[in-house]
Structure 1
Amino acid sequence: MLKKVIKKSIKKPIKKVLIKVMVAIFPLLLLIVIVSVTSLIIIGSNGNTENSGIDMGTSNVSAPVLAWKPQVEKYAKQFGIPEYVNLILALIQQESGGTAIDVMQSSEGAFNTKYSKLPNGITDPDYSIFCGVQEFKEALKKAGVKNINDTKNISLALQTYNFGEGFISFANSRGGYSLAVAKEFSSMQAQKVGWSSYGDADYVAHVFQYYKSNPNTNTNTNIKGGSGKLAKVIQIAQAQKGKEYIWGASGPNTFDCSGFVYYCYQQSGYKIERSTAQFYYDNSTKTTTPEIGDLVFFGTVSNIHHIGMYIGDGIMINAPKSNDVVKIQSYKRSDLAGFGKYNGK
């Protein structure tokens, strides 16, 4: 009996102490959870992960829009424009704020073959993004966008997404996109169809308020230099950024390292056969002063296992490895074997 009383007398103070401790640390635990969740949201909206190798810019969008990022990433990758994920999120912010079922307002576009072509006709948000990403890719292509930092032509593509394909030829006949051209087209179309207004002439500014491009030396997408065919090589190489690495592939949609070099050189007019990094090493003139567009080799003289193209300032453009994409990286590695000028004409 005495033992039971002693046990009870000990348990009560311990219980009180534990309760006090929990009360004291609960706010701290809650703060940790809030900070962790906030960090995840910021990382998710930024999209500029250190290992991505793609200049994606940054988006400043709402939580409802950010919730659609996995679907945007999925279809942007599927249709070959992964570097435009954050710009597409900004577009969604302007189109629907992420809260409409027709998330990208793509029901009236050419890629919608399942639902009504009327505004908000799509009743499946995933399908809306599926169509909208393709619609935007088509606009990028027809607007002649060179890369993610080609702001003028991206502006033309964005306004085309809002106005429709007819805007491209109209704008190009007037020197390309400008706000004045957009307003002129809007006014002309409104009169033509008998509406008080047509589209959003300020659409580009409205989208860009949620997006900022992020050029830097590691993801430079406006490489200048090289001469003759080498300048063309780099121009073509830049256009392949973000495309997936597949072993043995040599374009136009997937590449391995040697296939990437072959594609860019062959498309630039060089007489070059599809071969290995070792073959290109053996058939190049070695140099210690490479020119933009020249080859960068990795491995040893008898075992060259990787190849890229020199673009200056300690960086190269290459197709690195499986589960990666064509991108710009530093060539300053321990396995650097040197530089070469391809001997083909």
Structure 2
Amino acid sequence: MAEAAAHAVKAVFGALMAGGGAVLVILILIVGIIGGAAFLGNSQSSEALSAEVLAHTPAIQRYASEFGISEYVPVIQAIMMQESGGRGTDPMQASECPYNTQYPNTPGAIQDADYSIKVGVQYYADCVREAGCEGPQDMDKLKLSLQGYNYGNGYISWAIRNHGGYSKANALQFSQEQAAAHGWSRYGDPEYVPHVLRYYSGGGLFAGLFGNGQLVTIAKSQLGNEGGQKFWSWWGFTERQEWCACFVSWCADQAGLIQSGAVPKFSVCTDGKNWFQNQGRWQGAGSMPSPGAIIFFDWEHDGTCDHVGIVERCDGTTVYTVEGNSGDAVKERSYAINSDSIMGYGMVVY
């Protein structure tokens, strides 16, 4: 995380200075001081995800997209980390979820990790919607959705009706009341929210500099660049090339994603597409991509990849992108999610 932070800060500051953004740099320094104080005052720090959780991330991304919560991938990773560390055949501990129709609804009954992820993500999507969570940075409602995943989403409606939302106190109250009503010694984990959030770093002041938002932030810092010399010369070319892939690779390099092996360095669109497909990190056209995914296009509809960009966001019907060499400039674009020019997406495992 420290290395990724260094890359992100270097890229953003470099972009601002290149654009003569001295005033913005001063503002960022001020924000940094405030943010530093916020971090010092927060006893929680983001703990590392296990190799097992990272290995499951492509499945998490796939099902998060399918169920309309693609921006919550880091949250789901944190849930999985708390539930199982990514180990076992039921890494989301989703056997008791109502969407589990293939195995008994008893703890640990699911015997298929991919199915566990599908069931768990689908159920968490319900929790997000019932909590009214507007995004992963909507921390109050995010906490409500998390506790709902642990207790069952009946807690969410109860907490809203009786207390206006989540609190540690009412999470404990609900646990005690449910345990007493069922004659059990305990019910769920009243500390589930802080237990999950120790693995989640997406709700802080600098959320746009890390994880999925990092690549988007760097790409957007280059909006307005014309000609692309900065990108194709960085790649090693001595004269102008079609530079959309060079732009994506440059952004990935600035984010530390090439060094980490999350994104290849490529100058030919087909090479990038093939790499993601060979790595099992390919998401088909028509699905909902996560911010920071790599989007590949086929303008001629002949099966050959012609263009590439970076997904900024997707609202379920429209995909918004940042692209190099779009009219020989870095521009924001948008497409219908079912556009027949979209070949698919490379999923970036952060």
| TM-score of the two chains, using structure 2 as the length reference | 0.49
Larger radius of gyration: 1
TM-score, L = length of structure 1: 0.50
